[in-house]
Structure 1
Amino acid sequence: MRLFCLLTLFFTLSIQAQFQINGIVTDSNNKPLPFATITTSDNSNTITDVDGKFIFKTLSKSGNFTVSYIGFQTKIVALAENKKFYSISLIQKTDDLKEVIVSNENPALTIIKKVIANKNNNNPQKRLKSFDYKTYNKLIVTANPDSIDGRIDSSAVYKDLNKKKINIDSSDYKFKEIITKQHLFQTEKVSQYQFGNNKLKETVLGTKIAGFKNPIYEVIAFNLQSISIYDNKYELFETKYENPISNTAPASYNYKLLDTVNIKGRETFMIYFKNKHKRKTSGLEGVLYIDSQNFAIAKAVMRIKGVLDISGIHEFNYVPNEKIWFQSNTTFKIVKGKNDDDIKILGGTIQFDGDVAEDFEPRKKAASDFTYLLSESNNFDIHYNLETPIKNPSLYIEIKDDAGKKPEEFWNQYRKEALDQKSQKTYQLLDSLSVSRRIEKRLGFGRKIINGYIPIGPVDLDLKKIISYNNYEGFRLGLGGITNDKFSKNFRIEGYTAYGTKDGVVKYNLGAGVLLDKNTNTWLNGSYTDDIREIASTVFAVDKRVFKIYDPRPINISTFYHYTSWKANVQTKIIPKTEAVLELARTEIEPKFDYLFNYNGQLYSSYIMTTAMLSIVWAPFSDFMQTPTGRTESDKRFPRFTLQYTQSLPNVLDNDFNFGKIDFKTEYEKKYLNGQKTSLLLQGGYALGDVPLTHLYNTMPNNLTKETVIQRITFAGRNSFETMFFNEFFSSQYIFFQVKHGFNRIKILKKVRPTIVLVSRMAWGNMEKPEQHVGPEYKTLDKGFFESGIELNKIYKGFGLGGFYRYGPNQLMKFEDNIAVKISYVLDLGL
């Protein structure tokens, strides 16, 4: 959702003084010189990128700047009036640069090894007991008007020898007119960072987004770049790469000593690094400035050049009292890179220049070619080793209730420099544009759609309830929804009604809830339900709602039980990094298939269960954000653990049986630097006492009992056994394990680029007291069940195919009966 919001702002807002200088540095053979040092007349430094290009701003159109590169003669370039682009060629020195370090080893590698060895002594989060500071951040989406051609494509037609007709046909001209006056998007933020007990917390004191009255929390939580340069994984645009100074980095990176540069009065080694693994996307590369005395990082430039050209710069100040380099400024920038194919993002097509032949005819430039995103942060008011306690340290981000309502005096206090006229105009124009085009309402509408709702006045209509299909009800037609903030922020009503065209029965639900505590999202709820449910299915009360355009697995289910239930529960996130549901329920159950439950010699065709249930999910490694509307998981990390315990209440409200159930689930996901991903799922359940078949375990089957493989083709389920037939196995205790490994997309044809996923699943189980279950025939999982397969997802327009094979002790006699072919569909928003 955060990526959805930011990419929307970056690519679709195509509707601002200092003097800017651009140029390129090459050698005598016209080859670009990457990471050459540019020193301006005011003694500020910048470097060229991997293509030898540079850009900097100066307050004066006169003066000069210096270009230096190791092994080449330094050149002083004078600024000329009205000249904005400089092509600079450096001459190679005839004498070699003397070695900085005498060693048989690459001198740059020697320095890097010393940086790694001294990391704990130089890392503020290891060296200092505590610290806190404030940060002012400004983020803009904009373009440089000088880079846009902006000519008017015109043709002249004379009428009556007097009138001249001009046809204007240039989107570039219109875009340049807009971008000269304003930015496309702009936001400011003031935060306080506090570190103590090995935890870092951000408290957002103020936030201001052009065009929006209320903060966009997804954008606030979006992690553009790592806060610490010393983390083992360095993050750019929510993608993690191995840090060039991690303990294992020398095996993954090449290093080259470029130069020695003076920073803050201390000599630093300038070291270029690049990933050794050559592939289409070059991976992380950049320049580290290493203090020659303590081998700390004094400045870092990190870059990824691919579909997006992304760079992150970290600047530091040396603190003599603490003998440490502490971060002072960060800069993050995105421009469009290169890609073989255009891509669609949120309904708009973004055009790219690919790596094509020299005779390829260049395409017409679009607005996104000129647009870039720039985020700059300035740290100030820094304190070290204070004893001030951190409030709610388990939260990674906390947004103050009044953060979005700060007056202009607040911003003038914290801005590094006053807003220029262009920035002021941006707020004025985008605020009015947002009102006229209802942008804020549209973004809210988009949030609801992604979660499966359509807001209609004070009610959010539930898209999942409109239509579905299964073998028992036929087409299930319905209507459902829940009240939203327009109705009340502290009280909600929800419900649905549905009708099955095959069974001819109406089902319904009605519930209400009251908010007990906003900060911990604590709700007290009550509901009544008259509906049906798949037998022996496991539902975790704390599982997040998953919305799909289709829900394939229930299509082929035939065995359900009817239930009427009264429920009361409390939902809360009061315990750090958890979400819990405590529920009391009384449920009347009637199996809708041939089944009797034998309990103490009495056969039950229907029964009553009065139960208490506690369900809790714990995400110890995730980051959580406290907003004025509640607590949310801002960065989902693994592993995460879910536990649910259900206990019947003897002699309470006519309860018939005495039993308990323990269900658990552990999820783990690892994303690799090369784009691949491994997912693990371990799930199990244990039923104690006298439990009817309706509430035991079926181990998630998803295969039809048809004669041929072709007849059994259906949609793939989610974490289900594709070769296990419905109602083939039942268990009173089971354990299920699944491993998936996804590879990068492979290109078969231009528009056929599937992702390959290897899947293996296995389960073991047992049935205690089988004599209690009268009616259905079934098998048990004592010897285990095994299947493996391959998925080709997103082959074309989101559709894919999967093939699975059943093997092991429960393998079937006929070879073809062990095979299942499934259709998959992945909704691709272009993210």
Structure 2
Amino acid sequence: MRLKFSFLIKLNVSLNPVVISQKYEIVFAEIIVNSLRKNITLKHFLSILFGLFSLVTIYGQNTIKGKVIDEKTKEALPFVNIIDNNNNGATTDIDGNFSIVSTKSINSLKFSYVGYQVAEINVSNQQYIVAKLTSTSYELNEFVLLPGENPAHRIINNVVANRKIHNPEKSLDFKYESYNKLYITGAVDTAILNNPEKISSLDTNNQKAIEFLEKHHLFLMESVTERKYMQPDKSYEKVLASRVSGLQNNTFSLIATEIQSFSFYEEMLTVMDNSYLNPISVNSSNKYFFLIEDTTFSGSDTVFVISFRPKKGKNFKGLKGLLYINTNGFAVQNVIAEPAQEEEGFGVKIQQQYEKIENSWFPVQLNTTILFKTAQINDFKMLGIGKSYLKNIEINPDLNKKEFGIITTEVADDVTKKDEAFWFKYRGDTLSEKEQATYHVIDSVGKAENFDKKITGLEALLTGKLKWGYVNLDLNRFVKYNDYEGFRLGAGLHTSSKVSKVFSIGGYAAYGTKDKTVKYGGDFNTIISKQSDIELNFSYQKDVVEPGVVQFNSYEKPLLSAASNRNFYLSRMNDNEKMEARFQFRTLRYLKVFLFANQEKVSVTNNYFYRNKIDDNTTLFVQDYTFAEVGAEFKYAFKQKVIQTLNYKYAKATKYPILYAKVEQGLNQADGDYEYTRFTFRTEKQFNIKNIGKPKFFIETGFIVGDAPIVKMNTSIGTFKPKNFLVATENAFETMLPYEFFSDRFASLHFRHNFGSLLLKIKKFAPEFVVTTSVGYGDLSKPQNHGGVVFKTMEKGFYESGIAINNILKANFSTFGVSAHYRYGPYQFKKASENFTVKMSLGYSF
């Protein structure tokens, strides 16, 4: 008994500082005495004691909850620093909510926030308050005089040193679920909203717009996703539910998770598909100016509020905003950021909030605010608000590599069929009246106006296929232009998933206004395994095909890219009849393989002939050829992410070069006249290097073993036609004549470096400077076998360089510029003026 009593005295001493009401002191003492009388063991006694201690502590706490908003706009203010009269600290979350706890009475709260007046509010006898802060004109002063080293640099350098530790995708396995909400409304100035006289002075349409916007959003979308991530780079995300006002189409299901980077620790940050240099990247203090604006506390840790923006005189794509750095690991706790230079089409601001989960800092909420400068409802610009809440976060869960396949993102089959119980589970609350009204009204409008059919047009641009009942129309078959056919008018279609999700049958027909010839073809495709990309295809075509160019079935030119301009220069075509069987599958995760067999009949349409020596006395000048081929094509895209929706599948860009290879074996069997082996290799990649710009290269090389007509040789692609209107291209020689060279062994390199607006940017005038260089080599082993047309070989090497100034003028979504190129080396023309070419550059801006 003495032992227990002495222990009790020690505990009483340790508990003395705790503030406990007199009533609970008596109850606490009675329980201890009863425990001693019943001779409870020390283990049981400690369990009771710690349980009671936690209850007593909770009872003795005082809690104030609330929300902080902008006095004028009524918008929630994230990451506001709050200190009570007992020096306890707290910070508002990303939605402006806060909760502050103290063991003593809370009588007042002090609020401080960069760009706002400090406010102190009496909160005696209150449990919930709404604090309104008044904004001040805030501009970061570039010429702040700091004695010695800028103290903010020490903090930022510590953050940079620890960024890989705190970057979840560099240090952790994890899984989580997220609830995402995106709505679009009108950006109406609060000075108008709060002034009935100003509203009444507006025209009728604007008054109706304000009345509508007070009760509804223009657009509302919700989604629920689950994501798993395993080191070093295995990721899988599934959209479990999606609801879009006015639509049943799930095309927008992935928008909320694609707007901004998941973490603020990457070297380059992505916001609305634009890349910006991270203020916490290596040597960022040479580019950014940092200033400690405030200091607060989070428990026993210090939180530094540091503003940042690009230094004057530094021209790069950067951000400005505030970093909240917690000294516990020097980790980012909160961040507010926006582009330092205004983008033309939109203004955007991002907010991220992190919490410490199982000793690891992890993002828990991502917000994005987008001002659409070119989209309006009457006189009011449209404003988009996106919020993502990460829930049920698990750090280093038990994951298996088999859970991750080539598809990194997909949409559940029942994505649009979840009930309200499901949504309530993830929302954590019911929708507001305004949000419910938005669904009700916009759904009605969407049904009346048939939004789902109209949105199909956007999907058609992404896939090149327009859904039309039981068929999909091939948009790329409608209208084309080249120098040989003139305008190529046609149509093409395939059966849609309404007919079958396993197979499709399709065909096309076209007519050239210049060559006055009808072309047509058809194919049958069946999907054996969607997950492994196993498909079987049979096709037939009677068309025209360019000689000397290897076609890769897996290579797709980017939509609306300068590389597509090369089609304007196609001036030599051969009649072609071809039957082919193709089997494709995926292996080694990132390798796609195509096995094929075909028979092809080619008739030359110009004066070219192939000398086919029969014997010493007989040589035929042949212009019609039959080829029988078997072969394989390979595409290796390391770490490429594939997105699968209900309607289509597409691959995202990878940061590694994509490798292509093709082997074609000509047979002198199955009516084939020529035996040869043709090897072709291709690769291309664009990089984004901070502070330097975007270098890009395209390399192609190949060779032929055996004899074949020139149609199976290689022509280094030239796009220069004197006295013609010229448009700049990519992955082609700008000063080379079309079909000027032919080779059976060749290599070509096209390099271009886009400095963007790094070299010059004056307010809204931001031309892009691009330097280019192209090098080619080729050789032909038996030039005597080819006749009828004049061409050169390229064994001495072909060289050209140029400079382009893009984005000089803009019209709607198109941009215009100018480029100049110079041909030099062994194959330059005698007249210096003939080696120069000036072209118009076309671009697209969305």
TM bucket, shorter chain: 0.7 to 0.9
Structure 1 position 731, deviation (Å): 0.7
Matches within 5 A, 1:109-508: 109-128=153-172, 130-142=173-185, 147=190, 149=192, 169-199=203-233, 200-217=235-252, 219-220=254-255, 223-263=258-298, 266-278=301-313, 283-305=318-340, 306-307=342-343, 308-319=346-357, 322-335=358-371, 344=374, 348=375, 366-368=379-381, 371-389=383-401, 391-449=403-461, 456-468=468-480, 470=482, 472-473=484-485, 475-508=487-520
The secondary structure found in structure 2 opposite 1:402 is coil
- Could you tell which deviates more after superposition, 668-677 or 729-738? 668-677
Aligned-partner residue type, residue 203 of structure 1: K
- Asked whether the 8 Å contact 2:242–2:253 carries over to 1, the reply is no
The secondary structure found in structure 2 opposite 1:722 is coil
Whether 2:575 is the aligned partner of 1:541: answer: no
Aligned-partner residue type, residue 21 of structure 1: I
Taking the aligned partners of 2:392 and 2:706, their CA distance within structure 1 comes to 63
Matches within 5 A, 1:630-669: 631-651=649-669, 653-669=670-686
The 1:221/1:818 distance shift into structure 2, 3 A limit, reads farther
- Asked whether the 8 Å contact 2:287–2:314 carries over to 1, the reply is no
Whether 2:69 is the aligned partner of 1:21: answer: yes
- Asked whether the 8 Å contact 2:351–2:366 carries over to 1, the reply is yes
Q: In structure 2, which of residues 631, 638, 647 is the aligned counterpart of residue 620 of structure 1?
A: 638
The secondary structure found in structure 2 opposite 1:721 is coil
Offset from partner CA, 1:729-786 (integer Å, 9 cap, x none): 1111111111122344699999997544322211011112223223323211111111
Structure 1 position 650, deviation (Å): 4.3
- Could you tell which deviates more after superposition, 404-413 or 228-237? 228-237
Taking the aligned partners of 1:332 and 1:190, their CA distance within structure 2 comes to 17
Matches within 5 A, 1:566-605: 566-572=579-585, 576-599=589-612, 601=614, 603=620, 604-605=622-623
**Aligned-residue CA RMSD in angstroms?**
4.2
Taking the aligned partners of 2:321 and 2:484, their CA distance within structure 1 comes to 61
- Asked whether the 8 Å contact 1:758–1:791 carries over to 2, the reply is yes
The 1:767/1:464 distance shift into structure 2, 3 A limit, reads same
What's 1:696 paired with?
Answer: 713
What's 2:821 paired with?
Answer: 804
- Asked whether the 8 Å contact 1:139–1:188 carries over to 2, the reply is yes
What's 2:134 paired with?
Answer: 87
- Asked whether the 8 Å contact 1:145–1:180 carries over to 2, the reply is no
Aligned-partner residue type, residue 132 of structure 1: K
Taking the aligned partners of 2:89 and 2:218, their CA distance within structure 1 comes to 31
Q: In structure 2, which of residues 514, 532, 537 is the aligned counterpart of residue 525 of structure 1?
A: 537
The secondary structure found in structure 2 opposite 1:174 is helix
Structure 1 position 696, deviation (Å): 0.8
- Asked whether the 8 Å contact 1:665–1:682 carries over to 2, the reply is yes
Matches within 5 A, 1:666-677: 666-672=683-689, 676-677=693-694
Taking the aligned partners of 1:132 and 1:549, their CA distance within structure 2 comes to 37
What's 1:8 paired with?
Answer: none
Offset from partner CA, 1:359-406 (integer Å, 9 cap, x none): xxxxxx93216x242323232242434355561255432333223322
Matches within 5 A, 1:737-756: 737-744=749-756, 755-756=768-769
Taking the aligned partners of 1:555 and 1:592, their CA distance within structure 2 comes to 19
Offset from partner CA, 1:601-634 (integer Å, 9 cap, x none): 4533322211123223222243322334454213
The secondary structure found in structure 1 opposite 2:363 is strand
- Asked whether the 8 Å contact 2:256–2:388 carries over to 1, the reply is no
Aligned-partner residue type, residue 640 of structure 2: S
Taking the aligned partners of 1:119 and 1:476, their CA distance within structure 2 comes to 55
Taking the aligned partners of 1:750 and 1:181, their CA distance within structure 2 comes to 38
Larger radius of gyration: 2
Taking the aligned partners of 1:754 and 1:119, their CA distance within structure 2 comes to 34
Whether 2:687 is the aligned partner of 1:687: answer: no
- Asked whether the 8 Å contact 1:518–1:629 carries over to 2, the reply is no
The 1:278/1:366 distance shift into structure 2, 3 A limit, reads farther
User: How many residues are treated as equivalent by the alignment?
Assistant: 743
State the identity as a percent: 28
Aligned-partner residue type, residue 315 of structure 1: Q
- Asked whether the 8 Å contact 2:182–2:384 carries over to 1, the reply is no
Taking the aligned partners of 2:229 and 2:569, their CA distance within structure 1 comes to 54
The secondary structure found in structure 2 opposite 1:115 is helix
What's 2:738 paired with?
Answer: 726
Taking the aligned partners of 1:58 and 1:183, their CA distance within structure 2 comes to 27
Offset from partner CA, 1:278-311 (integer Å, 9 cap, x none): 5699831333333324323333333335234433
Unaligned runs of 5+ in 1: 1-17, 26-32, 48-53, 91-98, 156-165, 337-342, 351-364
What's 1:11 paired with?
Answer: none
Taking the aligned partners of 1:304 and 1:549, their CA distance within structure 2 comes to 26
Taking the aligned partners of 1:529 and 1:731, their CA distance within structure 2 comes to 27
What's 2:91 paired with?
Answer: 45
Taking the aligned partners of 2:165 and 2:198, their CA distance within structure 1 comes to 65
The secondary structure found in structure 2 opposite 1:535 is coil
- Could you tell which deviates more after superposition, 143-152 or 719-728? 143-152
Query: What TM-score, normalized to structure 2?
Result: 0.78
The 1:599/1:196 distance shift into structure 2, 3 A limit, reads same
Aligned-partner residue type, residue 313 of structure 1: Q
Name whichever structure is richer in helix by fraction.
Answer: 2
The secondary structure found in structure 2 opposite 1:701 is coil
The 1:549/1:757 distance shift into structure 2, 3 A limit, reads closer
Q: In structure 1, which of residues 757, 767, 784 is the aligned counterpart of residue 770 of structure 2?
A: 757
- Could you tell which deviates more after superposition, 639-648 or 539-548? 539-548
Aligned-partner residue type, residue 174 of structure 1: K
- Asked whether the 8 Å contact 2:481–2:567 carries over to 1, the reply is yes
The 1:349/1:451 distance shift into structure 2, 3 A limit, reads farther
Offset from partner CA, 1:34-75 (integer Å, 9 cap, x none): 99746799976359xxxxxx994699xxx9863337999954
Taking the aligned partners of 2:833 and 2:151, their CA distance within structure 1 comes to 63
Taking the aligned partners of 1:274 and 1:547, their CA distance within structure 2 comes to 35
Taking the aligned partners of 1:521 and 1:433, their CA distance within structure 2 comes to 39
